[in-house]
Amino acid sequence: MTGPPRSTACRSRSAPPAAWPSNSTDRPKRQGDEVDVGFIGLGAMGSRMAANLAKAGHEVTAWNRSAVQPPEGVTMVDTPAAVGRAAGQAIVVVGGPDDVDQVVFGADGWAEGAAEGSVLIQCTTIGPSPTRSLAARLAERGLRMVDAPVGGSTVPAAAGELVVLAGGDAADIERVAPLLDVVGSKTVHFGGIGAGSAVKLMLNAVLLAALETSAEVWAWLSETEPDLKVDQVAAALERISPIVAKRLPDVAGDPPPAGFAIRHAGKDVRLVLGEAGTGPVLHALHDALRTADDGGLGDVDIASLGEAARRRRG
């Protein structure tokens, strides 16, 4: 690519809200940016992201641990190494740090097949320390990495409206921008490798703590004020916490079948505790998520924290 790398911290397909860095540049999807791309992990998030890349005209070669029906336009191969041989850049969206290590460096891993200079776009939530270690090990092999966890769950993933929380070299992020601009509506460059992963853990921890608090308080309110309407309370919450206001009806009622599962949320809080070391709120949140998981809610959306809170009250 000619010219110097962009210096902007935030790039979006539309003007960013005030909550994101103001030094932003609009970046529409462009014709002629179609490239070959590998994809590792076709779960709830990955399958939707890969589908959007194929729809945008990219040649997508994918691998998944278990047999799946691939999205239209996605070619499946037998190993992550074959993904590495098929394209100079690959996206990985799997379960956690150990899974990433296995698909990248394990037998027939991506690094085994990738050509020197290839770029791994690491979108799994694994935390900053494993992210920096992963990038260092790849660099020893002449491979590059972009730290790129995403904000949003399955609905924005399907719509191509995720927020990419990027860390790494600006030139590497610019190189893979045509791919990031498909899976997300906005890419925010927070700093070096690990910065995006650190921000992702903070965002998830804050969201989960807010939802757990709303679940506990609503469980009490629904008993003491049975005529209270959830939509009125949600409207009152709009100015304080728009995301909690949006999710409160799900917390108060039946959670959606898909989204951000309790089990994955618990993994993310454990990652925060592993990095931060302590924190009474984080420990309490971890216990609440573990109780919900043990109670059979592990595969249900995080809004099921509401059901868990109601169960605790009997």
pLDDT digits 0-9 by tens, 80-110: 999 999 999 999 999 999 999 999 999 999 9
pLDDT tens-place string over residues 166-201: 999 999 999 999 999 999 999 999 999 999 999 999
For 282, the domain range is 199-312
Residue 3 lies in a domain: no
Q: Report the pLDDT averaged over residues 268-295.
A: 95
pLDDT tens-place string over residues 31-40: 446 689 999 9
Identify the three-state secondary structure at position 123: coil
Instruction: Provide the annotated active-site residues.
Output: 200
Of 193, 228, 254, the residue that ends a domain is: 193
pLDDT tens-place string over residues 38-75: 999 999 999 999 999 999 999 999 999 999 999 999 99
Residue 4 lies in a domain: no
Q: Specify whether the CB–CB gap between 180 and 173 falls below 8 A.
A: yes
CATH of the domain at 233: 1.10.1040.10
Half-sphere exposure of 17 (CA within 13 A, CB side): 3
Give me the pLDDT at residue 278, please.
80
Lookup: tokens for 169:
């070299």
pLDDT tens-place string over residues 253-264: 988 876 899 999
Residue 5 lies in a domain: no
| Distance separating alpha carbons of residues 50 and 74, to the nearest angstrom | 7
